[in-house]
Structure 1
Amino acid sequence: MNLIELALDFALGAVALALLPCAWRLLRGPEAVDRVLALDTLYINTVALVILLGLRWRSALLFEAALIVAMLGFVSTVALARYLSRGDVIE
């Protein structure tokens, strides 16, 4: 096992471990804003995990999947923020 594979394995473990506190805050957040921020961080960590898996498995398809997850996460965060601040998404 070379150094790059070892670094990728370590990064995969670290990002997977970082998903746990995000999921905890999403489930137990005292307010809706805390849950939205946890969801935002959760999808960012998911994008990082998919990219690292794409590097590890040498698959270009996973990079496209990461791009789709990032776009959907951004749109959902904006929609949830507008809903919490205004009460509706589209005016």
Structure 2
Amino acid sequence: MTLATYITWIILPLLGLGLLTTFIRVVRGPSLPDRVVALDLMATFIIAISAVYSIASNEPSYLDAAVVLALITFLGTVAFAYYLHKRSSNA
């Protein structure tokens, strides 16, 4: 079994299953912070899928997209934390 076959038949479906369960948490999350954390985890799954697919297809440009998405996700998480901090200090 080659690495590309292992990635295609085992790792990518498992990452997809994790992405699906995280989406269910986004939909059913009881509070806003739960949903934001689930969205952050979804972005992490998408980054992992992109990186794994880059390895399987031997195409390094997908890694560049994964790095950019990771930076954007980090900024979004920091912005949300700042929003929660400001919201709690005003109450």
TM-score, normalised to structure 1, is 0.87
Unaligned runs of 5+ in 2: none
Matching of residues 16-55 of structure 1 within 5 Å: 16-55=16-55
Identity %: 29
- Matches of 1:61 and 1:53 in 2, distance apart? 10
Runs of 4+ in 1 over 6 A off after TM superposition: none
- Matches of 2:15 and 2:7 in 1, distance apart? 10
Unaligned runs of 5+ in 1: none
How far did residue 5 of structure 1 move?
2.2
- Further displaced range: 40-49 or 77-86: 77-86
Contact 1:47 1:69 in 2 (8 A): yes
How far did residue 25 of structure 1 move?
1.0
Letter in 1 for 2:45: N
Contact 1:23 1:42 in 2 (8 A): yes
Matching of residues 52-91 of structure 1 within 5 Å: 52-87=52-87
> What's the Cα RMSD here?
1.1
Q: Which has the higher helix share?
A: 2
